[in-house]
Amino acid sequence: MKSIFKTCITMLCSALLVVPVLAGCGEEEGGGETEFIDYVANLKLDMSSDTKKQEVTVRNYIDGDTTHFDPKTNSTITSYNAADFAETYGYIKARYLAVNTPESTGDVEKWGKTASNFTHEKLESAKSIIVESDNNKWNIDSTGERYTLWIWYMPQDGTDYRNLNIELLQYGYGRAQSSKDNRYGDIAMDAIVQAQNSRLRVYSNDVDENFYEGEAFNMTLKKLRCHLQDYVQKTVRVEGVVTTQMGESVYIEDYDEETGLYFGISVYYGYTPGADLRSVLKIGNRVSVHGTVTYFETGDSYQISGVTCNSFHPEFTTNTVIVEGGEGTGEASFAEHTAKEITSGTKEIRFISGEEEEEEVLNFKIGEALLDTTVSLKNLVVESVSTTSNGGENDGAMSLHCVAGDGTKITVRTTVFKEDGVLVKKDKYEGKTINVKGIVEKYYGNYQVKVHLMDFIEIVG
């Protein structure tokens, strides 16, 4: 009864707030019975307040309500102290206060990518960005890594900073997240009520052009890998062998007889997968994966997200399932390639599709085709080694800068290796000749090989 009473009161209050008001800047149109107020324009950044403030630049765009920033240390608008950000490795992992946008990186939800695009657009075009704490100190959320912050940006043609948190709320890109009990709580709640009354985005039944709600596209990994951009934010079903696990993802791959290549993709299952999903996505299993194709901007890579498995309802068409399982059923190919093939080779790839059996011919980069696929390379000479040392969890990871016999240069990236509990350092590999097993990935536009087990690097000279 208490919950019903509370709901009725909330609905009554919302109804009372549906009154004509002055129109705002007109950047976004509102619906319903209210004229649109640009609450963001009415909110000013008080540079004299006791809150912490730091001018920043974007390091990585993550999603609608999370961005990684680098402090702009030469700015006059600064409370920067390296010690303040030691727990987040020297840069700022910002979780936006007061707003919770739909997911777009792991699980994929309606309006998630659209909210992410909005945040990206506003910050990318800004001439200045300031992050502000909610009180007189930098506050970290429950993850122990992300700072809860207000994000202010100044448009290229503007003279005032705009609060992106409130802007996301007033245009319906996100829902309330402890919105009232903070520094700008009152205006946050006004923005939320307006978005609700205007039935904007997350409060509407409108079509989200960035969210696919149709049936899954069934295809081979070859077709998906060569047409990935056509299927971003769409649901697909593909089949392959689980080859390895890294973090909260596994990699699957499948052999194509026509090209003689293996094609693969990363499958993100999240931090706490159910027991059913863990047993399905087990290395060696051949699986049929159902999920949404997403673009992971931080790693410049594509993945399948939003995978599920429910053994109590095996009839669910959205289940990710085992096609063939058991010890020795499948294994990573580690097909042998040359450094030149991976870094600059091309291959003609053909597809026959449609009722008319039309032929499509692509002159495709081999490195692009092999992304997320296991490979082996032999007789690479390690010319130099770079080691990560930014105070984070990846300290000690190495980049082995190698050259092949034909002079082709390629980088082999490792995770953090330890031998008998002792960190493996660059002198173990520098100047040596090695054979390598790993997964092809892309880093700043260049193809390289990622190795996650020390046993996958063999010193041969």
Is residue 189 in some structural domain? yes
Task: State the pLDDT confidence band at 81, using cuts at 50, 70 and 90.
Answer: low
Question: Does one domain contain both 295 and 407?
Answer: no
- 């995770």: which residue's tokens? 415
Question: CA 242, CA 221: separation in Å to the nearest integer?
Answer: 13
pLDDT tops 70 at residue 21:
no
Q: Which residue has the higher pLDDT, 274 or 47?
A: 47
pLDDT for the residue numbered 6: 35
Question: CA 258, CA 349: separation in Å to the nearest integer?
Answer: 8
Task: State the pLDDT confidence band at 328, using cuts at 50, 70 and 90.
Answer: low
pLDDT tops 50 at residue 20:
no
Question: Does one domain contain both 276 and 392?
Answer: no
Max avg pLDDT among 263-272, 320-329, 346-355: 263-272
pLDDT for the residue numbered 340: 98
pLDDT for the residue numbered 117: 93
pLDDT tops 90 at residue 124:
yes
pLDDT for the residue numbered 17: 35
- Find the CATH number of the domain harbouring 277: 2.40.50.140
pLDDT for the residue numbered 73: 79
Per-residue pLDDT tens over the stretch 149-174:
999 999 999 999 999 999 999 999 99
Question: Does one domain contain both 15 and 128?
Answer: yes
pLDDT for the residue numbered 315: 87
Question: CA 455, CA 95: separation in Å to the nearest integer?
Answer: 38
Given a contact cutoff of 8 angstroms between Cβ atoms, the answer to whether 418 and 390 are in contact is: no
Task: State the pLDDT confidence band at 386, using cuts at 50, 70 and 90.
Answer: very high
Domain boundary among 333, 358, 382: 333
Per-residue pLDDT tens over the stretch 284-308:
999 999 999 998 877 789 999 999 9
Given a contact cutoff of 8 angstroms between Cβ atoms, the answer to whether 85 and 158 are in contact is: no
Question: Does one domain contain both 351 and 328?
Answer: no
pLDDT for the residue numbered 409: 98
Closest to 195 measured CA to CA, from 167, 166, 175, 170: 170
Is residue 338 in some structural domain? no
For the record, the structure tokens of 148 come out as: 């809860």
pLDDT for the residue numbered 25: 38
pLDDT for the residue numbered 8: 38
Question: CA 153, CA 149: separation in Å to the nearest integer?
Answer: 13
433 sits in the region (left: phi over 0; alpha: psi -120 to 50; else beta) called beta
pLDDT for the residue numbered 84: 67
Question: CA 321, CA 395: separation in Å to the nearest integer?
Answer: 37
Q: For the chain, what is the domain count?
A: 3
Question: Does one domain contain both 376 and 290?
Answer: no
pLDDT for the residue numbered 300: 80
Per-residue DSSP letter, 298:
G
Question: Does one domain contain both 244 and 152?
Answer: no
Q: Report the Cα 101 to chain-centroid distance in Å.
A: 14
Question: CA 346, CA 60: separation in Å to the nearest integer?
Answer: 31
Is residue 379 in some structural domain? yes
Is residue 297 in some structural domain? yes
Domain boundary among 333, 361, 386: 333
Per-residue DSSP letter, 414:
E
261: three-class secondary structure by DSSP: strand
Question: Does one domain contain both 39 and 120?
Answer: yes
Question: How many CB atoms are located within 10 Å of the residue 102 CB?
Answer: 24
Q: Which residue has the higher pLDDT, 50 or 108?
A: 50
- Find the CATH number of the domain harbouring 356: 2.40.50
Give one DSSP letter per residue of 62-126, joined into a string. EETTEEEEEE-TT-SSB---GGGGGGGTTSEEEEETEEEPPP-SSS--TTHHHHHHHHHHHHHT-
Mean pLDDT of 412-431: 96
Max avg pLDDT among 7-16, 24-33, 258-267, 346-355: 258-267
For the record, the structure tokens of 194 come out as: 């307006």
Give one DSSP letter per residue of 126-181, joined into a string. -SEEEEE-SSSS--B-TTSSEEEEEEEEE-TT-SS-EEHHHHHHHTTSSEEES-SS
What are the helix and strand counts (H, E) for the chain?
Answer: 8, 26
pLDDT tops 60 at residue 23:
no
Question: Does one domain contain both 369 and 294?
Answer: no
Mean pLDDT of 315-326: 86
pLDDT for the residue numbered 88: 53
Range of the domain at 95: 2-203
Per-residue pLDDT tens over the stretch 202-256:
999 999 988 888 899 989 999 999 999 999 989 999 999 999 999 889 999 999 9
Question: CA 436, CA 340: separation in Å to the nearest integer?
Answer: 15
pLDDT tops 70 at residue 329:
no
Return phi, psi of residue 192, to 5°.
-65, -45
Is residue 77 in some structural domain? yes
Is residue 446 in some structural domain? yes
Burial 222-251 (b: 16+ CB within 10 A, else e): bbbbbebeebebbbbbbbbbbbbeeeebbb
Is residue 210 in some structural domain? no
- Counting Cβ atoms within 10 Å, is residue 33 exposed (0-12), middle (13-18) or buried (19+)? exposed
Closest to 118 measured CA to CA, from 68, 74, 187, 170: 170
pLDDT tops 50 at residue 15:
no
Question: Does one domain contain both 364 and 305?
Answer: no
pLDDT for the residue numbered 16: 33
- Find the CATH number of the domain harbouring 74: 2.40.50.90
Closest to 405 measured CA to CA, from 339, 334, 456: 339
Question: CA 209, CA 404: separation in Å to the nearest integer?
Answer: 46
Is residue 314 in some structural domain? yes
Question: Does one domain contain both 159 and 265?
Answer: no
10: three-class secondary structure by DSSP: helix
Task: State the pLDDT confidence band at 133, using cuts at 50, 70 and 90.
Answer: very high
pLDDT for the residue numbered 85: 62
Domain boundary among 270, 301, 333: 333
For the record, the structure tokens of 444 come out as: 């700043």
Mean pLDDT of 256-276: 87
Question: Does one domain contain both 325 and 367?
Answer: no
Question: Does one domain contain both 290 and 432?
Answer: no
